[in-house]
Amino acid sequence: MPEVFLASRNRKKLEEMERILAAHLPDVRVLGLDDVGTYDEPVEDEPTFAGNALLKARAGRAATGLPSVADDSGICVDALNGMPGVLSARWSGPPKSDERNNELLLAQLADVPDERRGAYFTCSVAFVHGEGAEAEVVVDGRMDGHVIREVRGDGGFGYDVLFVADEAPGRTTAELSREEKDAISHRGRALRELGPVVARVLAG
């Protein structure tokens, strides 16, 4: 069974990646951080999503010996000049908390009118399967939409409960089915682009 390592403990991310890769390699197995031995995870101190994704994928490959994938993603809000951006996961400070991040974002946008609440999710996914630049691939995905004024839905994770995508009006991305979200999400788009590359490498 071909295996690929995803540098994440987020079970929903692991399942999402396995679903998308399975379209290209049906018997693929995606391992996460909880499935491998503990190693020192790098500090995500790069100024770009792509830089952070590569840091994590390189560290995963070095620690596990497996072809490794890592992503860095976040929400960029027009009224906040593109923030939280790369700080999305830790926007409200340590320890990381989706609930506190969402509360802070809502508070910061409280006086912003609906027509100025535009935002987009963006994601960089890095795949490292050997040494050197020729064994590294980075792809990007984006999902445009806007931030609403209240939390809605119990699916997804992170800021999904506050975000309505342009391609799925009326529902937050936390209210979409897995299939609906995969079809339009920033991560889904990036993984679909990367999927054939990963499949070719794993198939040997």
* 166 carries an active-site annotation: no
Tell me if 81 is assigned to a ligand binding site: no
Catalytic option among 35, 71, 72, 144 = 72
Q: Which residues contact 22 (CB under 8 A, 6 or more apart)?
A: 28
Tell me if 157 is assigned to a ligand binding site: yes
Q: Say if CB 136 and CB 164 are below 8 A apart.
A: no
**DSSP one-letter string for 133-189:** GGGEEEEEEEEEEEE-SS---SSS-GGGGGEEETTSTTSBTTSS-HHHHHHH-HHHH
Tell me if 149 is assigned to a ligand binding site: no
Show me where the domains of the chain are located: 3-203
Tell me if 72 is assigned to a ligand binding site: yes
pLDDT single digits (tens) 83-142 = 999 999 999 999 999 999 999 999 999 999 999 999 999 999 999 999 988 899 999 999
Tell me if 187 is assigned to a ligand binding site: yes
pLDDT single digits (tens) 145-190 = 999 999 999 988 899 999 999 999 999 999 999 889 989 999 989 9
Whether the full predicted model's pTM is greater than 0.85, yes or no, is yes
Q: Say if CB 69 and CB 95 are below 8 A apart.
A: no
In this structure, of 15-29, 51-65, 85-99, 184-198, the range with the lowest mean pLDDT score is 15-29
- Does position 36 have pLDDT exceeding 90, yes or no? yes
User: Which CATH number does the domain 3-203 belong to among 3.50.50.60, 3.65.10.10, 3.90.950.10, 3.40.630.30?
Assistant: 3.90.950.10
CA distance 159 to 151: 9
pLDDT single digits (tens) 59-92 = 999 999 999 999 999 999 999 999 999 999 999 9
Task: Give the pLDDT confidence score for residue 19 in this predicted structure.
Answer: 84
CA distance 133 to 84: 29
